[in-house]
Amino acid sequence: MSELDFIKELKEGKSSAFGILLNDFEQKVFNTCISFVPNKEDAEDIAQEVFLEVFRSINKFKGNSKLSTWIYRIATNKCLEFIRKKNTKKRFAFMQTILGNETPRDKSNYFTEFKHPGIILENKELTATIFKAINTLPESQRIVFTLAKIDDKSYQEIVEITGKSLSSVESIMFRAKKSLKEKLASVNKNNSS
């Protein structure tokens, strides 16, 4: 079946088409989510939200990109929404603590928890440090770096997902690598002192 026919069936609400969509994209969307949100339960919840959004919005899909690109764009946006909400809650809790309205909580960023099942390294502490450093990057750098290095997307796929030009993606990736190198060098320097 061609992609156009498949999209037509999705828009007609055929359950067999949605079953195929889930089979084809469930693991891929989860992998994208866990790349941004290294916590299995949260990534699963976000992946479910992605498919709900796809089901709700399929009639708005104009076909200006491939269906997979559109789905990855939704997944990336859902992950970023989750991260923003999580960080806002942390800031609010921190402010409540400062104002004396609440008992102190862990003020560390959400992404200091390292529960990414897809990456196995002998040194989990190093992996957690890398994820913490990635999380401190500006949003555009974090998106491009995560899609390229963790989710293994090509620059062309990143261009399609983000809507940025190829030169912009390359420039952002260069700055992200440079910034991460500096951050990790600083961590190594502090750990060896």
Q: What is the CATH number of the domain that holds 66?
A: 1.10.1740.10
Q: Is the pLDDT higher at 169 or at 96?
A: 169
- Average pLDDT for the chain: 81
Can you give the residue range of the structural domain that contains 26? 1-112
Whether residues 37 and 95 fall in one domain: yes
Q: Place 131 in a pLDDT band, splitting at 50, 70 and 90.
A: confident
Comparing 25 with 109, the larger pLDDT belongs to 25
What pTM value is reported for the model? 0.66
Same domain, 154 and 192: yes
Boundary (domain end) residue, out of 56, 91, 112: 112
Mean pLDDT of all residues in 17-43: 91
Closest CA to 162 of 50, 76, 57, 67: 76
Averaged pLDDT, 103-122: 46
15 and 90 assigned to the same domain? yes
Looking at the structure of the chain, the number of domains it has is 2
Spatial separation of the C-alpha atoms in residues 102 and 148, rounded to whole Å: 40
Same domain for 94 and 21?
yes
Name the pLDDT band for 48 (thresholds 50, 70, 90): very high
Q: Which of 42, 41, 35 is nearest to 161 (CA)?
A: 35
pLDDT for the residue numbered 175: 94
CB 51 within 8 A of CB 24: no
The pLDDT value given to residue 149: 85
- CATH code of 162's domain: 1.10.10.10
Q: Could you give the 3-state DSSP secondary structure of residue 39? A: strand
* Residue 135 and residue 78 share a domain: no
